[in-house]
Amino acid sequence: MTVIADAARPVAVAGVMGDLPTEVGNSTTRVLLECAYFDPSTNRATARKLGMFTEASRRFERGVDFALLPYALDRAARLIAEVSGGAVAGGVIDLCPRELAAAPVRLRAARVERVLGISLSAEQITELLESVDFEMDKASEDVFSVTVPSCRVLDVTREVDLIEELARLYGYNKIPVPARMAVSMQGAGRGNHHWESVIRSRLAGMGFREAMTTTFTASEKVSKIFGPRRFEPVRFAMPMSAETDVLRPSLLVTLLECVKHNINQRHLDLMLFEIGNAFARTPGSDGSGETRRLALAVSGRTRPVHWSGEAARWDFFALKGVLETLFSHFHLPAPAFEPGGDRLFFEARSAVIRMDGKKIGQLGLLDPSLARGLDLDEQEIYLLEVDLEPLVKATDMPSYKPGSAYPAIRRDMSILVDLGVPAADLIAEIGSQSNLVRDVCVFDLYMGEHVPEGKCSLALSIVFQSGERTLKDEEADSLFENIFGRLVKKFGVQPR
């Protein structure tokens, strides 16, 4: 920060704001004129730090012509003398710690032709640039050393800037457009943007609306949601305000703000999603932790009100089904879910999402105590966030696979199993027993009377099918018995 001071005290913040005692009033008889050049970046930093955005700061942070300072002083003194009848004292004090001059810029005629596609002679180049006060010196044949005028030192610093100036002066309309242009199709493939577009389309087809929020948020809000030591936020050196002093470590931070705004506006049935960057840097790690993510937020009813009956309300399993549907659209194996998640989730209704054994996200119910602190306790809010990179990497172009022409055989199984055994483990174990197992699903869950404490009753449906022949009932029965025996041995299940 720079100040302007007299012998006793500061009288102005340089390039931003003057002091009240130095203001010109009706009783002023003597005026000291000062004209200065302030470094644009320093001036901008001072104005932002003090929160003082004045006409002076906006002028100086964009840069002024330092060569005009003596002329500006003379002009101001003359106007004061002519308008108010004052007398101009003789002499000027000029304090300049170093010479203000731009470094010469090298310009090659061959480079001009390569960029613009036209051949300009050395005489044409010289004539065009000298017409707008550039000083031209020939360093060698077809190579110039160009001195930039003081009024252009901030925007003309490179050779390509001079070439752009030549194009403007020569006339864009005079630069011919070739009748044919060679276009390379190499590397056109389907990148991340394509798959993100597909995800947007699928979610919109399910009834979701896309939210677009800023990546800036408040560090206090991050600590409130995730805890003070969960992340090491990427902080701004000069934040605009305390509400935008860090980059969000999770899309859920800003998506919750969107949820709150909608609920306050009485839009209670919400299906929101966002695709964006999060900066999940953890304590002790290097870099910014930037990742591309997908976040979902749902609340209220799963569909609009209809005369046919009351709609179901969003819950953990409905949101889980949305993610499984997305994986199915991409022809990927269903993700695995296991208990866990950050502190923003209610422990009894949350899960960590894994793909090929690696954690890619989490989902669950917003913790009621946190919801109260955020003024979001009017209704349950379910959240989901996943890292898109592993999902997109595993995605490939869909391939055609003919369905089986032979009938399937279904067998149902009702078992008692410990509450600590995930249904996903049972399904995975059944599917691994034979390539004739086409589908496994849970169609009933019961806990209550006649079920021992610590256990639950699960009903599973197993579909057997061959793509080469018609299965016999005896084969299906044998497979079914083998599968049940395996579940008894590995998980200790009991028939019911």
| 185 pLDDT higher than 60 | no
CA distances to 253, 403, 487 from 450, rounded to whole Å, are 45, 42, 22
- Six-digit token string for 369: 């105590």
pLDDT digits (tens, 9 = 90+) for 193-248: 888 999 999 999 999 999 999 999 998 999 999 988 888 888 888 888 888 889 99
pLDDT digits (tens, 9 = 90+) for 57-91: 888 888 888 888 888 889 999 998 888 888 888 88
Q: What pLDDT sits at residue 484?
A: 93
Which residues make beta-bridge pairs with 390? none
191 band by pLDDT with thresholds 50, 70 and 90: low
- CATH number of the domain located at residue range(s) 409-495 in this protein: 3.30.70.380
Contact 246, 234 (CB under 8 A): yes
pLDDT digits (tens, 9 = 90+) for 246-303: 999 999 999 999 999 999 999 999 999 999 999 988 887 878 889 999 999 999 999 8
Q: How far apart are the first and last CA of the chain?
A: 79
Mean confidence (pLDDT) of the chain = 88
Report the CATH fold assignment for 105-174.
Phenylalanyl-tRNA Synthetase; Chain B, domain 1 (3.30.56)
Instruction: Report d(CA 206, CA 212) in Å as an integer.
Output: 18
Q: Which amino acid is at 191?
A: G
- CATH number of the domain located at residue range(s) 3-84 in this protein: 3.50.40.10
Q: Determine how many CB atoms are found less than 10 A away from the CB of residue 38.
A: 22
> Domain map of the chain by residue range?
3-84, 105-174, 192-394, 409-495
Q: What pLDDT sits at residue 188?
A: 47
Phi and psi at residue 136, to the nearest 5°: -110, 130
Q: What pLDDT sits at residue 205?
A: 93
Q: Same CATH fold, 409-495 and 105-174?
A: no
Q: What pLDDT sits at residue 183?
A: 62
Report the CATH fold assignment for 192-394.
BirA Bifunctional Protein; domain 2 (3.30.930)
182 band by pLDDT with thresholds 50, 70 and 90: low
Mean pLDDT of 324-335: 89
Q: What pLDDT sits at residue 4?
A: 85
184 band by pLDDT with thresholds 50, 70 and 90: low
pLDDT digits (tens, 9 = 90+) for 121-147: 989 999 999 999 899 998 888 899 999
